[in-house]
Amino acid sequence: MDDDDRPRVKDDAAARLASESLDPYSQDELAERIARLEAEIARVEAHRIKAAAHRQAADALFRRTTP
């Protein structure tokens, strides 16, 4: 089984971030955290789009045509 086919761990980094208390952070630290998270969202979205394009190309290459 490929790594991509394995079920994802439910306690991944995003889940841990979502459950973390934000109380200890200052306003500036929260703004910096938001900026870093927005940059990570953009990085993940770009990778998702690249992966979708790769999948479409593979599907087009291996698609069977009916005679």
With b for 16 or more beta-carbon neighbours within 10 A and e for fewer, the 40-54 pattern comes to: eeeeeeeeeeeeeee
Residues sharing a CB contact under 8 Å with residue 30, sequence separation 6 or more, in sequence order: 22
* Confidence label for 1 from pLDDT (cuts 50, 70 and 90): very low
Record the pTM.
Answer: 0.68
pLDDT digits (tens, 9 = 90+) for 20-58: 999 999 999 999 999 999 999 999 999 999 999 999 998
Rounded Cα gap, residues 32 and 36, in angstroms = 6
In the chain, domain spans:
26-67
pLDDT at position 11 is 79
pLDDT at position 67 is 58
pLDDT at position 29 is 98
